Amino acid sequence: TANASSKTPVTLLGLGAMGTALARTWLAAGHPLTVWNRTPARADALVGEGAKASGGVAEAVAASTLVVVCLLDDASVGEALVGVDLDGKDLVNLTTTTPAQARARAEWAAERGARYLDGGIMAVPPMVGVPEAGGYVFYSGAAGLFEEHRETLAVPVGTRYVGADAGHAALHDVALLSGMYGMFAGVHHAFALLRKEDIDPVGFAPLLADWLAAMAQGVHLTADQLRSGDYTKGVVSSLGMQVAGTPTFLATAEQQGVSTELLRPYFDLMARRLAEADGDEDLTGVVELLVR
C-alpha cells in the first residue's frame, strides 16, 4: 500500500521472545518487514501478519538497508552472519553483549562495509509496543546514523542515545541490570528473614517496595559525591555508624536461620573502607575498593 511503502523497510534477524515482540510493532506501524530465524517455523505466525519470510539469512539481509539483529548472544550473531554480504548495510545489534564484544562487533561490521549501532534493551517482551510501560533501548555508535534511523527504532520502545563509543549502550545496560541484581539480593535476604515466622510475605511486600523506592533516591547523592570526590558531602548515615550496625544484621540472620552469604561480602567491603578512610564519609567509598 502507499502507506506501507512510505515507511523504512526493516530486516529483522532473530525471532525469539524479544525479536517476535519487536517484529509485531514494526508490522503494526506499517513498515515492510523481512524476517529470518534459524528455526524457520518461528516466522510462520508473523508471515500470517504481513511479514516477508526469507529463504535464508543472506536473502533477508539483502532485502533492506536497515538490518536489526536480536539473537541470543554475540557468538550467535557471528554464526548467523558468517559469509553474509553486509556491504552498504546499517546493522543495528540489539543482542545483549559485553561492551568489549560490542566494540569488536562494530569493527567487524566496518570491515564488511556496514555502518553499526549497538543497542541494550531495557524492556521485557510484554513492554514492547506499550509506550506507557516505559521500556527503551540504549543506543551507541555514530550519532548521525542513530538520527537517520531514530524514528524507525522508536517504534517498538523508546530510544536513548548514549554516545559514539559502540560499547556504551552495553555498558549502560549491564550497569542498570547489575544494580537490579543487587536489589534482588537484598529483597531475597529480607524475605528469607521472615520465612519461618507468621508474617505474610504479600503483606510485607508493599513495605519493602516502598522502602526500596525511598532509598533508591540515594543514587543521586552517590553520583554527586563521586563527581565531586568528596564522600562526606551531604552524608545522612555515616559509614562508621553503618559498620557499627552490621553485627546486628548478621546476628539477626543467624537467629532466623538465614545464610549471610548475600550480606557479608558487602559488609566486608564497608569494614575495609572504614579501616582506610574517614568514618564520617558515606558508603560511596566502597566504589573505590571495587575499581581495580
| Look-up of cell digits 548475600 | 262
Minimum Å gap between C-beta 17 and ligand FVH is 4
Residue from 114, 159, 126 nearest 13 by CA:
114
**Shortest distance, position 284 Cβ to ligand FVH, whole Å:** 29
CA-CA distance, 26 to 101, in Å (whole number)? 27
All cell numbers assigned to 217: 533516591
Give the residue with the Cβ less far from ligand FVH, 121 or 235.
Answer: 121
Per the listing, cell 501478519 goes with 49
Return the number of other C-beta atoms located less than 10 Å from residue 223's C-beta.
Answer: 11
Nearer to ligand FVH, 65 or 98 (CB): 98
Spatial separation of the C-alpha atoms in residues 63 and 42, rounded to whole Å: 19
Measured from the CB atom, the residue of 157 and 263 that comes closer to ligand FVH is 157
What is the rounded CA–CA span in Å between residue 268 and residue 266? 5
Chain contacts with ligand FVH (rule: CB under 6 A) = 14-19, 37-39, 42, 70-73, 76, 79-80, 95-96, 121, 124-125
Which residue, 14 or 285, has its beta carbon nearer to ligand FVH?
A: 14
Q: In whole angstroms, what is the distance from residue 292 CA to residue 289 CA?
A: 7
Q: 3-state class of 52 per DSSP?
A: strand
Closest distance of CB 211 from ligand FVH, Å: 26
Residue nearest to ligand FVH (CB): 16
Are 115 and 88 within 8 A, CB to CB? no
Report the sign of the C-alpha dihedral through residues 119, 160, 117, 171, in that order: negative
Q: How far is the CB of 185 from ligand FVH (least distance, A)?
A: 19
75 or 271, CB closer to ligand FVH? Answer: 75
Q: How far apart are CA 238 and CA 236, in angstroms?
A: 6
Question: 232 and 278 in contact (C-beta within 8 Å)?
Answer: yes
Nearer to ligand FVH, 49 or 254 (CB): 49
Phi and psi, residue 112, nearest 5°: -100, 10
Instruction: Yes or no: say if 105 and 166 are a contact pair by the CB < 8 Å rule.
Output: yes
Which residue's CB is nearer to ligand FVH, number 42 or number 272?
A: 42
Q: How far is the CB of 228 from ligand FVH (least distance, A)?
A: 34
The nearer residue to ligand FVH, 67 or 121, going by C-beta atoms, is 121
- Torsion sign over Cα 186, 189, 194, 195: positive
Q: How far is the CB of 101 from ligand FVH (least distance, A)?
A: 11
Least distance to ligand FVH from the beta carbon of 52, Å?
17
Shortest distance in whole angstroms from residue 137 CB to ligand FVH: 9
